[in-house]
Amino acid sequence: MNRSLTFIATLASGLVLSAAAQVPAAPVPATSAAATPTTPAPTGPPKIAVIAFQVAVAQTNEGQRDFADLQKKYDPKRQQLKGLSDEVDALTKKLQTTGDKLSDAERNSQAKTLDEKKKQLERSAEDAQNDFQQEMQEMYNGLASKVYDVLASYSQQQGYTLVLDVSQQQNPVLYASESTNITKPVIEAYNTKSGVPAPPQPAAGAAAAPSSTVPRPAPKPASPPK
């Protein structure tokens, strides 16, 4: 049942948005940028940049909006699972405190009911988690493809010959100067192209949003995006 409770707590706290940083980026053909070059191939020394691509996708205005909408969509399911979890907790506590006062038949009946509720909770939570992850995958891949197009255009305009993704769990970048990090300008370029406004800021005095509202990859030796 721990897995079920974890998923309920995740939905309740807003941590679902951190899943965006764990979803693999949509595959991008290696030849897509080269197929429609907008600038001549550089003739000087290589110009290399790094980007936290998954972070860039999630931090776009469109990404934040879509992830927030997905969370709202699953809020009724969270409420349903929370109610079922509370029911399981109540039945468990009742059986623990009054079990020794019940007859064998009554105790067995309550234990059977509790077991059925636990199984129902597990199945419901697993179904909700699978549905959520599938929608997150589809949403992320669609947005990642559009962000990649902006990344390719921006890189060509700036004369970059190689861009490395530092948001992958395993990447060859051990060190990168902050001046080579193009995560922020790519986000800004995509926001301008998409026209999606920034999400509203919390009202004054409101509780701060959880840090995971904006997904970030695990810390890496390379300079982290700002």
Q: How many domains does the chain have?
A: 1
Residue 15, pLDDT > 90, answer: no
How many angstroms from the chain centroid is the CA of residue 140?
8
Q: What is the pLDDT of residues 116-136, one digit of tens each?
A: 999 999 999 999 999 999 999
Does residue 18 register a pLDDT over 60? no
Q: Is 151 inside a domain boundary?
A: yes
Residue 170 covered by a domain: yes
- d(CA 26, CA 140) in angstroms, rounded, equals 8
157 belongs to a structural domain: yes
Decide if 216 contacts 21 (C-beta within 8 A): yes
Compute the mean pLDDT over every residue in the chain, rounded to the nearest whole number. 79
Which residues are within 8 A (CB) of 124 and not within 5 positions of it... i.e. 6 or more apart?
Answer: 4, 80, 81, 84
The pLDDT of residue 45 is: 84
Which residue range(s) make up the domain with 56? Answer: 2-28+43-196
Q: What count of other Cβ atoms lies within 10 Å of the Cβ of residue 81?
A: 22
Lowest mean per-residue pLDDT among 5-9, 63-67, 190-194? 5-9
206 assigned to some structural domain: no
Q: 195's torsion region: left (phi>0), alpha (psi -120 to 50) or beta?
A: left
Is 216 part of a structural domain of the chain?
A: no
In a domain, residue 169? The reply is: yes
Domain-embedded: residue 117:
yes
Asked whether residue 55 is domain-assigned, the answer is yes
> In angstroms, what CA-CA distances link 100 with 91, 93, 94, 103, 104?
15, 13, 11, 8, 9
Percentage of the chain lying above the pLDDT 90 cut: 56
